[in-house]
Amino acid sequence: MGYTFNFASVWKYWPLVTEGAWTTLKLTAITTVVGVLLGVVLGSLLTSGPKWLRSIISGYVEIIRNTPLLVQAYFVVFGLAWAGARLPVQVAGTLVLIINVGAYTTEIMRAGIESVHRSQIEAAEALGLSRVQTYIHVIIRPAMERVYPALTSQYVLLMLGSSLLSAVGLDELYGMALRVAGFSFRNFEVFVVIAVVYLVLSVLLRIAFVQFGRLIFPRRRKLGTPL
Amino acid sequence: MRTAYIWFLLQGAWHTILLSVLSLVLGGVLGFLVSLVRISKVRAVSALALVYIEAVQGIPPLVLMALAFYGPAILGGVHVSALGAATLALAIFSSAYLGEIWRGCLQAVPKAQWEAAECLGLTATQRLFRVILPQALRLSLPPTVGFVVQLVKSTSIASVAIGYGELTYNAKILNNSTFEPFMFFGLAGVLYFVMCYPLSRASRRLEARLNLANR
C-alpha cells in the first residue's frame, strides 16, 4: 500500500515510445494494403475459382482463423530461422501479420461477394458490361462497401495484435515498452502509458478508416449512411 | 520425439482450457452486467458502459495482461498468481466483447415485447428475465460461441506477458531446449485447431439454424 506513482522516469524515455508507435503504424499500414489485396484476390477465387483451389483457400482460412496469432508468429519466425532463411525480423514479422490478416480478409470478402445479388450481375450483363467491368464495378466495389465496417474493425484488431510480434523480437510499441520498463523499473506506469498510446492509435486509426471510406465510397457519402 | 514431450504439450492444453473456462465464466458475469448498463435508458449510465467497452477494445490484450499482472500488487497490495492475473485480464477483455455482443441481442428483441410485458403487469425484473432474456439468449448463442474461439486463442498471450504455463508457453519451452520449431509449434497449432474448429463449426451451424427459423 501507499505506492507512489512515478511517471517522470517514464517520460524520460518518451522518444523510445514514439519510435515504437511509429513502427507499429508502419507495420499496420503495410499489412493493411497487402492484406486487403490478398483478401480480395483469395476471396474472389473462393467464390468462383476451380474446386481444388477453393478447398486449398478455405483450408488456409480455417487453419489461420482457428489458431492463435502468437503460435503462427513462432511457427513462421523460428521456423524460417530453423530452415536457414536469414530474414530480418521486421520482414518475417510483416509476413506473419499478412498471412494472418489475409485469412480474415478473405473470409470477410467472401461474405461480401456472396451478398451481391445474382440479378445485379445479370443486369450488368444485359447492359453489355465486360466481365472485368462487371467484376470491378458490380461485384467487388459494392461487396467491399458492404463489408467495410467489418474490414475496418479487423484492421484495428490487427494493429492491436501486432503487439504480439514483440515476442519474436520486433521492437514495435510493446517491444519498446518492455525496454522502457527495463530501463526505468517502473513497469506498471509504463504499461499504463502504453495502454493510453494504443487507445489513441486505435481511435486515430478508426477515424482514418471512416474518412477513407467516405473518400472511396462516394455513394455512401451521398446517402449519408454512417460507416 | 519422446512421449514426455507430448504429455507436456497436453498438460499445456489442459491449462489453456482451464484459463479459457475461468475467464469465460468471470467475463460472462461481468459482460452481462456491462450489457445491462449499456441498454440503460439513462444516457449518462449507458455512456459509461460505452466508454468501458471502447477502452478495453482499444487496448491490446497483451497490455491488459501486463496491467493485470502488476496492477493488483501495486494498487491493492494483493499478490495474484499467474493464473489469477491471466484470468483477470481475459475476463476484462471478454466482458467488453460479450457486453457489446449481448447488448445487440437484447436490443434485437422487438420493443413491443417490453411494452407487452409491462401491460401484463410484470415487474422490471420479470420483464427482463422472463420475457426478454429467453428471446435474446437464442440470438446470442452463435456470436457468443464465435467469441469463445477468439478467447481460446487469446489465452496464448498469457505465455508472453505473464508466463502462465499454457499450451503456447509449454511449446516454447520445448522449442527452447530442442530447437524444433516446426514440430512443436505445429503440434501446438494442431491442438489449438482441435479446440477451436469444432466451436467455429458450431457457431456457424447455430447461426444458419437461427436464420432458417427467422425466415
Residues of chain B contacting residue A202, judged by C-beta atoms under 8 Å apart: 57-59
Nearest to A71 among B57, B185, B200 (CB): B185
- Please tell me the predicted confidence (pLDDT) of residue A5: 78
Average pLDDT by consecutive 10-residue portion of chain A (227 residues)? 74 89 94 96 92 95 96 94 88 95 95 90 92 90 90 94 92 91 86 94 94 83 53
To the nearest whole percent, how much of chain B has pLDDT over 70? Answer: 98
Mean pLDDT (whole number) for B106-112: 92
Grid coordinates representing A158 are 490487427
Rounded Cα gap, residues A159 and A152, in angstroms: 11
Is B126 an interface residue toward A (CB < 8 Å)? no
- Please count the CA atoms within 13 angstroms of the CA of A98 that sit on its side-chain side: 17
**Which of A205, A204, A224 minimizes the C-alpha distance to A214?**
A224
Nearest to A198 among B60, B175, B182 (CB): B60
The answer to whether the Cβ–Cβ distance between A79 and B168 falls below 8 Å is: no
Which 3-state string (H, E, C) describes chain A? CCCCCCCHHHHCCHHHHHHHHHHHHHHHHHHHHHHHHHHHHHHHHHHHCCHHHHHHHHHHHHHHHCCCHHHHHHHHHHHHHHCCCCCCHHHHHHHHHHHHHHHHHHHHHHHHHHCCCHHHHHHHHHCCCCHHHHHHHHHHHHHHHHHHHHHHHHHHHHHHHHHHHHHHCCCCHHHHHHHHHHHHCCHHHHHHHHHHHHHHHHHHHHHHHHHHHHHHCHHHHHHCCCC
CB–CB contacts below 8 A, A to B: 113
Angle at A31 between CA A29 and CA A32, to 5 degrees: 65
Nearest to A66 among B182, B185, B200 (CB): B200
Residues of chain B contacting residue A67, judged by C-beta atoms under 8 Å apart: 153, 189, 192-193, 196
Q: How far is CA A131 from CA A54, A124, A126, B64, B74, in A?
A: 20, 9, 12, 49, 64
The answer to whether the Cβ–Cβ distance between B58 and A160 falls below 8 Å is: yes
More confident residue, A219 or B43: B43
Mean pLDDT (whole number) for B16-42: 95
The answer to whether the Cβ–Cβ distance between B74 and A188 falls below 8 Å is: yes
Question: Which residues 151-170 of B have a C-beta within 8 angstroms of A?
Answer: 153-157, 159-160, 168
Is B149 an interface residue toward A (CB < 8 Å)? yes
- Please tell me the predicted confidence (pLDDT) of residue B211: 80
Grid coordinates representing B152 are 481460446
How far does B167 lie from chain A, in Å, by closest CA? 10
More confident residue, B24 or B79: B24
The answer to whether the Cβ–Cβ distance between A79 and B185 falls below 8 Å is: yes
The answer to whether the Cβ–Cβ distance between A66 and B196 falls below 8 Å is: yes
How far does A72 lie from chain B, in Å, by closest CA? 8
- Please tell me the predicted confidence (pLDDT) of residue A227: 41
Nearest to A202 among B58, B160, B189 (CB): B58
The 10s digit of each residue's pLDDT in B159-180 is 998 989 999 999 999 999 998 8
Residue B214 has pLDDT above 70, yes or no: no
Find where cell 467464390 sits. A47
Mean pLDDT (whole number) for B90-115: 94
Residue B116's identity, in one-letter code, is A
Rounded Cα gap, residues A12 and A8, in angstroms: 7
Residue B15 has pLDDT above 70, yes or no: yes
How far does B180 lie from chain A, in Å, by closest CA? 7
**Which of B173, B164, B174 minimizes the C-alpha distance to B17?**
B164
Is B176 an interface residue toward A (CB < 8 Å)? no
To the nearest whole percent, how much of chain B has pLDDT over 90? Answer: 81
**Which of A84, A86, A76, A90 minimizes the C-alpha distance to A24?**
A90
- Please tell me the predicted confidence (pLDDT) of residue B1: 67
The answer to whether the Cβ–Cβ distance between B60 and A167 falls below 8 Å is: no
Phi-psi region of A224 (alpha: psi -120 to 50; beta: other; left: phi over 0): left
Measure the CA dihedral B38/B42/B45/B49, to 10°.
20
Nearest to B60 among A78, A160, A192 (CB): A160
More confident residue, B77 or B188: B188
